[in-house]
Amino acid sequence: MKKFSKILVGLLVVVCIVEGFFLYRAYAIPSTTLQTARKINRIEQIIDKYYKGSVKKSELEDCTYKGLVAGLGDVYSTYYSEDDFKELEQSTSGVYYGVGIYLTQDIKTGIITVVKPVKGSPADGSGLKKGDILTKVGNYKLKTSDALDDIVKKIKGAEGTKVKLTFTRNQTSKTYTFTRQSIENPTVETKMLQDKVGYLQITEFDEVTVSQFRSGLKSLKKQGAKKLIIDLRDNPGGLLTSVVDIAGQILPKGTIVYTEDKNGNKKYYKDTKNEQLDMPLCVLVNGNSASAAEILSGAIKDDKAGTLVGETTFGKGIVQGFFEVGDGSYVKLTYSSYYTPAGHNIHKKGIKQWRHIVVETRRGLAPSQKVGNLAVSSFFLIHPFPTHKGHLHVKLLVKDGHVSQFAFFKGAHCLIDAQLLGGIDRCHADDIGEG
């Protein structure tokens, strides 16, 4: 069997799990599996004779193959038909043909709304706003039972073709006609904060992420950034090769991550370039930072190249590869575990971070000063921020009952502060589609 070159370490969701077994036809097979084949054929006969609804043989067989892999009990292993695999390839490349709209679906109502248009896309400048409700794709009227992925498929299409989308805002409907074009998924966003602090968010690790990271970092340096915040919160992972390349732009030469398969064979992924980040680094993570995001944060932590702030990460320390079946379809299987440079496997454990608390004080804090029963051992000043009561808003990072660092953040000028304090709702990757 041929193993596909892309190695995924992303937090992928299995959307169809069906009980079943592999459908064997016209093969020389052992007697044990022959009994299984006969049982499958018997079930097919019963379906043909009694099932009232329509039957699509191809879908029935695909779900049977999915069922075989699902029997492993591993949510990260699954079967991909030829069409499913082509869609997966496109999603991990970070490039697709569509109109460039981020969409989200309310899990309770099923309503699909606009998050934002992609910059430079056909939808950019159309006047669409966050919260606009998608009601029709062409002549198809959306139902609340429609899955977001299915609607996104309807929006995507061949380059140069047109699609009509109808949205409702304040009970007023408007139809837009867009010409589909190549859309590069913006996986990296940057902005400058106060005190020469550069902010760089990575939403996932696709093929395009490497060049976007390099460009984003270069832009921040040109704007005068002397400190860097990398935001990996809600990053579900992605391609192993991409995260290794990005880590190589941050860390000194050495091991970034290594894997070990079922036979104990190890493979080391090392940085061999003469590149290294030349400024203080802070990495933001949370419970949805998974896989490739954990590889990057774990390597930074082990190399002491930066400070990790936030929640304990998701804890996905296993790697999946794609194995060709022979007819264009693939099986994705968990085939190895990965380890941080210091030899830690974080599967089902995650990477533990500093706990953070917030206090208000009318005066600054100095090293070794007490805050309640907590001792402040050091601090990192970003910006003083008076609250509406005239107090200073102080963030403290706590470990083992001692405050080791704290930072001042300036209100609306710092997205990081609001999010870490729970002031902004999180947007889960699984709830977002791109059309």
- Give residue-wise pLDDT tens across range 108-142: 888 999 988 888 899 999 999 989 999 999 999 99
Percentage of the residues of the chain whose pLDDT score is greater than 90: 42
Q: Are 157 and 74 in contact (CB under 8 A)?
A: no
Question: How far is 379 from 368, CA to CA, in rounded Å?
Answer: 10
Statement: residue 17 has pLDDT above 60 = no
Bridging pattern class, strands 227-231 and 197-202:
parallel
Residue found under tokens 């996986």: 187
Mean pLDDT of all residues belonging to the chain:
76
* 240-248 and 292-302 helices, crossing angle to 10°: 30
* Most confident by average pLDDT, 118-122, 199-203, 380-384: 199-203
Residue 32 pLDDT? 66
Rounded CA-CA distance 89/96 in Å is 10
Instruction: Please report which confidence band the pLDDT of residue 200 belongs to, taking 50, 70 and 90 as the band edges.
Output: very high
Most confidently predicted of 82-91, 150-159, 253-262: 253-262
Of 77, 81, 121, 291, catalytic: 291
How does pLDDT run across 282-319, given as a tens digit for each residue? 888 888 889 999 999 999 999 999 888 878 898 999 99
Q: What is the pLDDT of residues 146-182, one digit of tens each?
A: 888 789 889 988 899 999 999 999 999 999 999 999 8
pLDDT at residue number 335: 94
Handedness of CA 414, 419, 422, 425 (dihedral sign): positive
Half-sphere exposure of 122 (CA within 13 A, CB side): 24
Spell out the domains of the chain, with CATH numbers in brackets.
Answer: 3-91 (no CATH), 95-183 (2.30.42.10), 188-321 (3.90.226.10), 355-420 (no CATH)
Query: Residue 12 above 50 pLDDT?
Result: no
User: Does residue 329 have an active-site annotation?
Assistant: no
Q: Which residues contact 225 (CB under 8 A, 6 or more apart)?
A: 192, 196, 197, 198, 279
Annotation says 316 is catalytic: yes
Annotation marks residue 195 as catalytic: no
CB atoms within 10 A of CB 318: 18
How many other CB atoms are found less than 10 A from the CB of residue 325? Answer: 16
Taken in order 207, 208, 209, 210, is the CA torsion positive or negative?
positive
Q: What is the CA radius of gyration of the chain?
A: 25
pLDDT at position 184 is: 81
6, 156, 316, 332: which is the annotated catalytic residue?
316
Compute the average pLDDT of residues 389-404: 40
Grade residue 93 by pLDDT with cuts at 50, 70 and 90: low
Nearest to 187 by CA among 329, 78, 59, 92: 92
Q: Residue 408's pLDDT is what?
A: 35
Q: Binning pLDDT at 50, 70 and 90, where does residue 402 land? A: very low
Of 427, 409, 425, 430, the closest CA to residue 282 belongs to 409
Place of tokens 């937090």: 11
pLDDT value of residue 333: 94
Out of 62, 234, 271, 302, pick the active-site residue.
302
Q: Is the pLDDT of residue 216 over 50?
A: yes
pLDDT of res. 94: 63
